[in-house]
Amino acid sequence: MIAMARAFFLAATILLYGWLFTLQDHKAKDRTVSITMALPASVYSIAGGYMKQLVAEMLFIKISVFMGGVRPGTPPVSYAAPLASNFESISLIYPHLIDQYYFCQSFLPYISIESAATANAILERGIATYPADLFLRFFHASNFFLAMNEPIKGAKAFAEAAKLPNAPPMFGHLAALLSAQGGDIAAGLISLKTMLAKEKNEKVRNRYNEEIVIFQQALEVQKALKAYISKNGTAPKILEQLVPEFISGIPEIMDSFVLIYDPPVLHLKRPDRKKKP
């Protein structure tokens, strides 16, 4: 009898918990969350006095609560400006709060080009505070070409990061690839040759040598393009117009790269490998 009573009580408790959870879940879905523009950082700094860290953490909690309560399907553009202003204030008030940079990278760059630019400005404060942090360097450099379509700036950022003692070889390689993608094939070639000189792994060296050959072929096309422009005062509509006066033929680039001609700029980039449905 006692066992049956216990089982009944346990079942009733579970049902009650389920009902309360469902009720709270419905209330949460009906509740509208919002985030307001932050005040100028100077106002928070003056008001916070010696407690700038506490003020920054309070703003960080404000952002966390808001992002945790955003309804699915809410257009990120609708809250981009106030979200960015709060992140900017935190980075100005207390740049040592490392979590803000990771949280900022999780949301801002993917909203719009403007938001990505704001995220990078915030990340630059983080890099100034933590110059050896490789993650912040990676976020900053990758935002340029993934979110802002500025591969040359991304290349420069990766090249700068590659100078750090503990930087992975990937940084230098990305600097080379992005330089070529942005049209500065010569800079990309220099980066590859520098990496080849430092690399000891024979397999990796072979890959670099293969890429160097491709970059050199692309550079010959670029030189012919410049010669054509110098003689005719305008860029050709297609690369085939360079043959045979300025180059014997357009090289067949290996499938790991592709030449993209966007008059008057020649780009060497990795092909887009989109999965077929």
Q: Where are the beta strands (DSSP E) in the chain?
A: 258-262, 265-269
- Are 155 and 52 within one domain? no
Give the mean pLDDT of 142-148: 96
Total residue length of the chain: 277
10 assigned to some structural domain:
no
The count of domains in the chain is: 2
| pLDDT over threshold 60, residue 76 | yes
Alpha-carbon distance 15 to 76, whole Å?
Answer: 37
| Whole-Å CA distances, 207 to 76, 152, 158 | 41, 23, 20
- Expressed as residue numbers, the domain containing 198 is 150-277
238 assigned to some structural domain:
yes
- Are 194 and 220 within one domain? yes
| pLDDT over threshold 90, residue 22 | no
23 assigned to some structural domain:
no
Where among 148, 166, 181 does a domain terminate?
148
Q: Could you please report the per-residue DSSP string of 100-146?
A: HHHHHHHHGGGT-HHHHHHHHHHHHHHHHHSTT-HHHHHHHHHHHHH
Predicted confidence band of residue 276 (pLDDT cuts 50, 70, 90)? very low
19 assigned to some structural domain:
no
CA angle, residues 101, 99, 85, in degrees to nearest 5: 50
229 assigned to some structural domain:
yes
| pLDDT over threshold 60, residue 20 | no
| pLDDT over threshold 80, residue 29 | no
- Are 159 and 271 within one domain? yes
Give the mean pLDDT of 202-231: 96
26 assigned to some structural domain:
no
Where among 107, 133, 148 does a domain terminate?
148
Q: What is the pLDDT of residues 229-261, one digit of tens each?
A: 999 999 999 999 999 999 999 998 877 899 999
- Are 272 and 164 within one domain? yes
Q: What is the pLDDT of residue 77?
A: 94
135 assigned to some structural domain:
yes
Where among 105, 122, 148 does a domain terminate?
148
| pLDDT over threshold 90, residue 1 | no
CB 267 within 8 A of CB 221: no
Among candidate residues 176, 98, 180, 182, the one with its CA nearest the CA of residue 139: 98
Q: What is the pLDDT of residues 36-60, one digit of tens each?
A: 888 888 887 776 667 888 889 999 9
Q: How deeply is 125 buried, as exposed, middle or buried, from its count of CB atoms within 10 A (0-12, 13-18, 19+)?
A: middle
Give the mean pLDDT of 166-194: 95
Predicted confidence band of residue 277 (pLDDT cuts 50, 70, 90)? very low
- Are 142 and 220 within one domain? no
- Are 123 and 179 within one domain? no
- Are 114 and 204 within one domain? no
Helix (H) or strand (E) holding 227: helix 202-232
- Are 144 and 164 within one domain? no
- Are 111 and 157 within one domain? no
- Are 206 and 119 within one domain? no
11 assigned to some structural domain:
no
Predicted confidence band of residue 18 (pLDDT cuts 50, 70, 90)? low
* Eight-state DSSP code of residue 245: T
- Are 178 and 246 within one domain? yes
- Are 137 and 222 within one domain? no
